[in-house]
Amino acid sequence: MNPELKHIAIIMDGNGRWAEKRGLPRIEGHRKGVEVIRDIVAKSSEKKLVSLTLYSFSTENWRRPLGEVQALLRLFEESIDRYGPELKEKGVKVIFVGRREGLPENLVARMAQLEEETTHNTGLKLNIALNYGGRDEILRAFQKWFAVYRGDFEFLREEIFSRFLDTAGQPDPDLVIRTGGEQRLSNFLLWQTAYAELWFTPTLWPDFTPEEFEVAISDFSRRKRKFGGIR
């Protein structure tokens, strides 16, 4: 029996390298990458996935050159304005995961507006990880847990703690795809990916196609997931 696939998480790596290979500013690689996102979201909806999580900007990405960071933040705003109405129309529910403190006020306002406008959509849940770090998420989740249970460790159990994660109420990722040739999680969904299958490709994100997405899914379907058991 093929394993059930409900949630795919993607580390979209290689935008900058794609642009540099073509003699373009790095931001052009990120801009091309947004177009790829549109195709993969459409394919995920077609596949009837419950959730798709995209690693868009990590807590470590602030270390990049200031000009690139500022250009990326502007691109996020532009992309919400451009593609938000389409996501709403197609029934996608958008959820931004990560820390909002430190992001520009205009961007945070757009994020909140898109979440509100799609909150009642019943299609694909699109988690956009923005200013996100897996360790940071776990720390924030513990702070939320502590505020509720006041350190009563009788209630510090996996099923309770997971309610305070950014992805609360969603299935954990079944498959993590990373483009760009690297083979690591890079602080992405550390709690949720405990039993995820991993799939790596040298393809740079702007060159990633729905057809290669299908290849990853096909490979996943042939894997045997045992979750610590023997069958």
* Residue positions annotated with a catalytic role: 13, 61
Give every CB contact of residue 209 below 8 A, 6+ residues apart in sequence.
36, 39
Rounded Cα distance between 20 and 103, Å, is 27
State how far the alpha carbon of 99 is from the alpha carbons of 40, 66, 134, 209, in Å.
24, 19, 11, 30
Rounded Cα distance between 14 and 29, Å, is 8
Q: Quote the strand ranges of 147-208, DSSP E.
A: 175-178, 197-200
Q: Is 64 left (phi over 0), alpha (psi -120 to 50) or beta?
A: beta
3 state SS of 172: coil
162 DSSP 8-state letter = G
- Which class for 117: exposed (0-12), middle (13-18), buried (19 or more C-beta within 10 A)? middle
- Which class for 115: exposed (0-12), middle (13-18), buried (19 or more C-beta within 10 A)? middle
